[in-house]
Structure 1
Amino acid sequence: IFVLEVHSNDIYNCDLHFKVSRDRYSGYPLTIEGFAYLWAGARASHGVTQGRVCYEMKVKKIPVKHLPSSEPDPHVVRIGWSINHSSTQLGEEPFSFGYGGTGKKSENCKFADFGEKFRENDVIGCYIDFDSGNEVEMGFSKNGVWLGVAFRTSKEALAGRALFPHVLVKNCAVEFNFGQKLQPYFPPPEGYTYIHNLSMEDKVRGTKGPATKSDCEILMMVGLPACGKTTWAVKYAETNPEKKYNILGTNAIMDKMKVMGLRRQKNYAGRWDILIQQATQCLNRLIEIAARKRRNYILDQTNVYGSARRRKMRPFEGFQRKAIVICPTDEDLKERTLKQTNEQGKDVPDHAVLEMKGRNALTGHIIGIDHKW
């Protein structure tokens, strides 16, 4: 059976705030409070490397009356294909190809006009063709009308990697037809096969999640603001793609609040402090969800207070818990702090940093942690 990535009834290959329904062929994001600002993505369990393959998606809107009227595109979906180790932010990395309801296509954060806008109750057909010479072509349809080829990538560049069905939503529910329906929403073009109907030998399984809680890791970053925690976390996750680390931090939340691929601090019309407050509320909720899921995590916060470390690690009992302590020189910290303030528009008062320095346990045993790096 072809379903969104599920392992032992535990969603794995999607954002923590994306809920896969019981039938495994539909899903929706959390929309309460600040989650209404966030994109939520999910990738299917199997991808393809050959043939002409397709699937369909139907859009359903979720009411979000608590969003301000100034919010751009409060209900939108991006649909397409991506490789196994790309992030859930479809269309914002190499080999991640998305067609959005705004009438834009994107790959590696390069946006261009394509097709038509689509909205609630529209059905988007997604087609991939490996049989057109040296290139792989990806096209789309809307309510049975062919919109054309949106993307081409060379087989040489793809290097044998499979492409997986992928969806990214904001305040929309989605229903899929991978071929499990007796009748399609709209008949596919001649020569295309629904991915569900392929033999298992013609499909590639995506990364499976850890089998048990004891196989899961949580790495807790410890360090002052702007010391390089996020930089370390992102690089470590990139160099260990098989672990599929979920980074839990306000920076990661802000990455899921992008508008047309741009982070909001550079284009946000509202109050920055309110947005940060919303992101912090979302993060606290995601940490609660994370403790119940068998995944690998990096907790990207300051975590300089012992009481906070104990409180945050307690729900992750049974995980492999490790502390990653970042200690830059005073000069390096000053430079990083200035750069962060200029780029991200946030500033931590000196007295708050001094207090953290006084309370930061950088040596010795850290309670609630199994290992310290």
Structure 2
Amino acid sequence: PQPPAEDEEENIDDTLVTIDPYNCDLHFKVSRDRYSGYPLTIEGFAYLWAGARATHGVTQGRVCYEMKINEEIPVKHLPSTEPDPHVVRIGWSLNHSSTQLGEEPFSFGYGGTGKKSVDCKFADFGEKFGESDVIGCYVDFENGDEVEMGYTKNGVQLGVAFRTTKEALAGRALFPHVLVKNCAVEFNFGQKGEPYFPPQEGYTFIHNLDLKDKIRGTKGPASKSECEILMMVGLPACGKTTWAVKHAKENPEKKYNILGTNAIMDKMKVMGLRRQRNYAGRWDVLIQQATMCLNRLIEIAARKRRNYILDQTNVYGSARRRKMRPFEGFQRKAIVIFPTDEDFKERTLKQTNEQGKDVPDHAVLEMKANFTLPKPCEYLEEVTFIEVQQDEAEKLLKQYNEEGRKAGPPPEKRFDNRQSSFRGRGSGNFQRYDNRDSYRGGFQNRSGDGGSGYRGERGGAPVKTRLASHILKTHNSKVQPPLFRSVPDITTITTLHKRTFWSNYVLCS
């Protein structure tokens, strides 16, 4: 694919306090004037929280701003069991805090469910709020060493929700911050001629402060050449996410956006808890929704000037090429996580015990069979090995390749009566049918590398149709329910794929 066109961004006076398009989630859409925004809500995005911070923060004085919920966006595709499908959390956080307001230290949020939270500790506060309500947010630095944060709802005071100290803040500024789930919001930082409601006595809107009293948040890179994308490479549970989170934390000035299903699941939390602990629906369907969201976020990411860590397995050379090409112009680097075999087995067992098994054994074996190590090339400027270095990794990789090939394909791929032309490129070795950058049906693992699906590479429509007919006749008589479905086009496959997680399809058009 060709690199996508870069998103056009209006040049706005940098002294103005607005929503910061660099300091928000990729799925939070900021308006052109940068005073309002809304999250993506299609498909699995309706499960996700989306956060955004203001461009400026404060370290002194008595300061306020207002936020209005303009709309609760309809999400009829969510199941009726989804808790609080429309909710907003509003408050203050540090420049380098995550966008998940209220879920880490010095991140203070008051939510529409009538709860306040900091560091993932939730407590009752104020009252519920929703569409058309206006919440006023206040911070007071003039109370000795103590810093107080309070709220109003439609002009009515709700009292002080949070207290911290200047010593604990250590000179770090507090920034206006919103976290939304399926709601469109609008801010008044003081730019409006008239506020929604008169502010409390003694408080000044953040927009009206002198420039010297406002702290500018981290500015984004000026060009793509200053941006970095780090592609993680490694088997499931080898330690990729652990390294990615640690690296992002150690380099806060780069504001890495981690792109991976683990990061997606973190944005699906309910009351600060991951979905594994409180989800009533089918877990595999939710994982599939997260994978679809991730693919969409990667498309968005390639159009924006930011730093990214792509937290997927990326063990297939074709997958690495396909994913890196849209990021042409970025500094593209591969980070290979290759522990010793003993460490890998120990980490796999630990992850299974703590989080359950996201990736089936047969999928891991398939990855082992086809795993290749990345090398510097036209779409990768640099390759770094973590833990086991390249020479030793190549020896261990041969062992993994052999282990995966001996295991052969999973049961659903073993069709002994198929003609040899239907197999992969090698007659003796197990081949992955989807490694040619085509649509992939079937199993979607949490790495996003996909599962199995057949795509013909040669021949016109009659040849493909005959092939489809052959597969249907050969296997539908032996396997019930039908393993393959004949469908006319890729749109139909995508639609069916949302509903039938384990099915394979034959494209007949």
Would you say same fold, with TM above 0.5? yes
The answer as to 2:211 corresponding to 1:200 is yes
- What is the TM-score when the length of structure 1 is the normalising length? 0.97
Aligned counterparts of 2:180 and 2:96: Cα–Cα separation in 1: 19
> Secondary structure of 2:192's partner?
coil
Q: Please identify which structure carries the higher strand content.
A: 1
Q: Distance in 1 between matches of 2:122 and 2:167?
A: 23
Between the aligned partners of 1:356 and 1:48, the Cα distance in structure 2 is 50
* 2:76 is aligned with 1:58: no
Residues 293-333 of structure 1: CA distance to partner in whole angstroms, max 9, x if unpaired?
A: 00000000000000000000010000000000000122211
Q: Secondary structure at the match of 2:19?
A: coil
Structure 1 counterpart of 2:171, from 154, 160, 165: 160
Shift of 1:266: 1.5
Number of paired residues? Answer: 368
Q: Distance in 2 between matches of 1:3 and 1:141?
A: 21
Task: Give SS of 2:230's match.
Answer: strand
- C-alpha distance in 1 between matches for 2:42 and 2:264: 15
Aligned amino acid, residue 91 of structure 1: G
* Aligned partner of 1:21 among 2, 15, 31: 31
> Which amino acid letter does the alignment assign opposite residue 24 of structure 1?
R
Question: Which residue of structure 2 aligns with residue 2 of structure 1?
Answer: 17
Higher relative contact order (CA closer than 8 Å, sequence separation 6+): 1
Q: Offset of 1:225 from its aligned partner?
A: 0.3
Change over 3 Å in CA distance of 1:18–1:364 after alignment to 2: closer
Q: 1:145 aligns with which of 156, 159, 167?
A: 156
Q: Aligned residue for 1:67?
A: 78
Q: 1:109 aligns with which of 102, 117, 120?
A: 120
2:52 equivalent in structure 1: 42
- Give the superposition deviation at 1:141: 0.4
Letter of the 1:16 partner, please give it.
L
Q: Is the 8 A contact 1:306 1:366 kept in 2?
A: no
Note the aligned Cα RMSD (angstroms): 1.0
Q: Could you tell me the TM-score, scaled by structure 2's length?
A: 0.71
Partner of residue 188, structure 2? 177
- Determine what percentage of the aligned residue pairs are the same residue: 85
Which residue of structure 2 lines up, in the alignment, with residue 8 of structure 1? none
- The Cα of 1:135 is off from its aligned counterpart by 0.7
In structure 2, distance between residues paired with 1:62 and 1:46 = 28
| Partner AA of 1:142 in structure 2 | K
Aligned with residue 101 of structure 2, among 90, 93, 103: 90
> Matched residues in 2 for 1:325 and 1:115: separation?
49
Where do 5+ consecutive residues of structure 2 fail to align? 1-15, 385-509
* Residue identity in the other structure for 1:149: V
Q: Is the 8 A contact 2:225 2:329 kept in 1?
A: yes
Aligned counterparts of 2:66 and 2:376: Cα–Cα separation in 1: 53
The aligned residue for residue 133 of structure 2 is: 122
**Equivalent of 1:214, from 220, 225, 228?**
225
2:144 corresponds, among 129, 133, 146, to 133
Residue 338 of structure 2: SS of its match in structure 1? Answer: coil
Amino acid at match of 2:237: A
SS state at 2:24 partner? coil
CA distance in 2, matches of 1:363, 1:41: 34
- Give the match for residue 279 of structure 1: 290
1:299 maps to 310
Deviates more, 1:66-75 or 1:340-349: 340-349
Question: For residue 35 of structure 1, what is the amino acid of its counterpart?
Answer: F
Paired with 1:205 and 1:162, the residues of 2 have a C-alpha distance of 9
Q: Alpha-carbon deviation of 1:239?
A: 0.2
